[in-house]
Every structure is written in C-alpha cells, then in structure tokens.
Amino acid sequence: MDIKQILPGSTLGVLGGGQLGRMFCVAARTMGYRTVVLDPDPLCGAGMIADVHIQAPYTDHAALEDMAQQCDVITLEFENIPSQSVRFIADKTTVYPAAESLEIAQNRDKEKQFALTAGLQPVPYFAIRQADDLQQAASEVGFPAILKSNTLGYDGKGQFVVYDLSELSEAYHQAGKVACVLEKKINIRCEVSAIVARNAKAELASFPVSENQHRNGILHLSIVPARVSEEISQQAVNYASMLAEAMSYVGILAVEFFVSEDNKLYFNEMAPRPHNSGHYTKDACVTSQFEQQVRMMCGLTPGDTRLMSPVVMVNMLGDLWPPDWAVIFARNNIKLHLYGKNEARPGRKMGHFNVLAEDVNSALTVAEEIFERLSR
C-alpha cells in the first residue's frame, strides 16, 4: 500500500488544547513540524505551544474550514470532540483517527459491543436504555454492580456503585435517566493498560503494559513494568492490537483492562488518543507516546518502544497546589512535567512526575514517599 509520508516542514493540527495536545505539540515541533490547535479556551496549554491557536468552538464550521486549509493532517486530543465536526473536517483534509473510531469510544455500550465482536471479553453487563430496563438489568447482572452513563464519562464521572434495585433506581435518576450500562462489580486484583500505535500501512507497535492505581476515580499512578505475569501483559497487548486492527485504526490507542482475582483479563474501556497512563513513555522509553502519535498520523515507521528504565508515573492534581518544589528537585531521578494551566482546582490534572530507578519497587517507594511529602 503506497501511503504518502508527511515530513518535517508540514503542518499538523490537533483538535483540543489540553495537556495531551500540549505534549503532542512539543513533540511535533521538536521533530520539525508546524502545529495548529483548535480549542475554545484562550488560555489552553497547547495554544501556548502551537504555532497557531484557532480559538473557536469545536462545532464552528468556519474555524474547522480554516484549520483544514492550514493542516496537512489533523489528530484528536480527546474523545469528546463532536464526531460531526470530525466528519466535516475529514471531507477537507486527512484526520486520524477516523470519526467511526471516535463514535465507538464515545459510547460505552457501542464500545463493549465492538470489543465483543473483536474477540475481547468485557465485564458482564446489561445495556439500560429506559427505566423499564432496570429490573431486567438487576436480574441479569446481579449486585453489587456499577452503573455507568454511556457518554461523557471519564475520571470516575457518571459512575455509581449500587447494591440493590432501589439504589440502582436512585443512581439512574441521578445520572439523568440517560442511556447507561450496568456492569457486574468483579473482584479486581489490579488494572492495567496497553497502548498500541498503528499507521495507515497497518504497521503496529506496542508500549510496555502499565499497572494503574486510581484515587477517587482519577488515575493516581502508573507502574511500569506492570507487576503481572508475562502472559497477562502479552494478552493485553494482543487484545489492544485486535481492537486497532478491527477498526483499521490510525493513531495511538489506549485500552484499559481489569485483572480479576482469578487472573482473567477483562476489557474496561478504550481511548482513541494518547493516555494518562502512557506519560511514563516521555522519559522511560526510546519513543514517547506523543512522538509516536506524530509518526502514526504522518505515515512514518513506528518508533522503538523499548523500556529503558523501570518507572512510576504520578499524577499531580490541583489538590497539591502549591507543591513544595524542593521536595521533587532534591532527587536526581525524578522528571517533572507541568501542563501550563493557570488555575489549580481540586481534581484538575496540573502535571505529573516520573520516577526512574534500577527496579520498579525502588521507583514505587520513592514515588509514594515524594507524593506523601507533597500532600502534607
């Protein structure tokens, strides 16, 4: 298949100007590309780094047209970009990933159905489309269970743990009576994520699997290599690759899994973009997930994803602000990454740091110690 490569000097666009867009722009500009960001926020982090910031809503057709005229290829920063906007701009220039992939990832029910058809195993669930479905959902899934809204759910938003039918009914009302899925609450040993990259020539590359720990529904830290068997790690990569192939996906695809107490791997969700759990790649891998994003959208050969050092990535939320920077800089094996956000709020991702060490347990010990001192 003859795919035209997009080379340095060309202009790359990103829909979305948060921290993922910012780190994409840094990687792209380092590699010699011009960058254009479309985001309605005048102070967005990516807009401060990009060559051009088009400040407009994602539904503004004139702004999308302007972006299409400037860019050789465009990618997405997050999955809540309206798919209609992606389709509109795809009529005018190349966009990766495609709107079809975006629409699958935007809806939990569609996502689980697609995962099943691709050969993955989601946690047992029931799709709830109306109040009349609650009784059947409860009967088929059982309790305890987790009710999740189909759309706009991330970092624990739109999720409710329920223990009986009355709690399920109350949660459904709290969710706004929107379409949801009810998932069986399984006993989880840990959560892992696999990040794969695929270009238009169907060349695939995978990053080392990370083990993730969450607090209040938000990723707290990622441990790499994950403390799971080689068999589980390889299965996670294989499953993520199967999803990418099934969608004819182009770009970076992150897939989250639950590892059950009986060592089964269950599909949780996917993100059609670089992922928080992949931020360790910026310092610990030969190629970061953001350089890889550039490579995939430009039709280049996937970069080497070797892990050069065990690493633990720790998210820094607004709850820590202002942190005692001396605690971090007193160490010589911590790499700090801040996102250029002008206002710190509880739960808002302000940055992260990566701890690199000879072994993963040493990295985890330092990471937990530093975070504990920052939290005082």
pLDDT at 198 over 70: yes
pLDDT of residue 257: 98
Listed by start position, the domains of the chain span 11-95, 124-184, 188-374
Using pLDDT thresholds of 50, 70 and 90, give the confidence band for residue 220: very high
Question: Does residue 1 have a pLDDT over 60?
Answer: no
The CATH class that applies to domain 188-374 reads alpha beta
What confidence tier does 305 reach under pLDDT thresholds 50, 70, 90?
very high
11-95 has CATH 3.50.50.60 classification: no
Instruction: Write out pLDDT tens, residues 32-42.
Output: 999 999 999 99
Kindly indicate whether the domain formed by 124-184 is annotated with CATH number 3.50.50.60.
no
SS (H, E, C) the chain: CCCCCCCECEEEEEECCCHHHHHHHHHHHHCCCEEEEECCCCCCHHHHHCCEEECCCCCCHHHHHHHHHHCCEEEECCCCCCHHHHHHHHCCCEECCCHHHHHHHCCHHHHHHHHHHHCCCECCEEEECCHHHHHHHHHHHCCCEEEEECCCCCCCCCEEEECCHHHHHHHHHHCCCCCEEEEECCCEEEEEEEEEEECCCCCEEECCCEEEEEECCEEEEEEECCCCCHHHHHHHHHHHHHHHHHCCCCEEEEEEEEEECCCCEEEEEEECCCCHHHCCHHHHECCCHHHHHHHHHCCCCCCCCCECCCEEEEEEEHHHCCCCHHHHHCCCCEEEEECCCCCCCCCCEEEEEEEECCCHHHHHHHHHHHHHHHCC
Q: So what's the pLDDT on residue 87?
A: 97
| Digit-coded pLDDT (tens) for 132-188 | 999 999 999 999 999 999 987 655 567 899 999 999 999 999 999 999 999 999 999
Q: In CATH terms, are 11-95 and 124-184 the same topology?
A: no
Q: What is the pLDDT of residue 153?
A: 60
Please state the pTM of the whole predicted model: 0.95
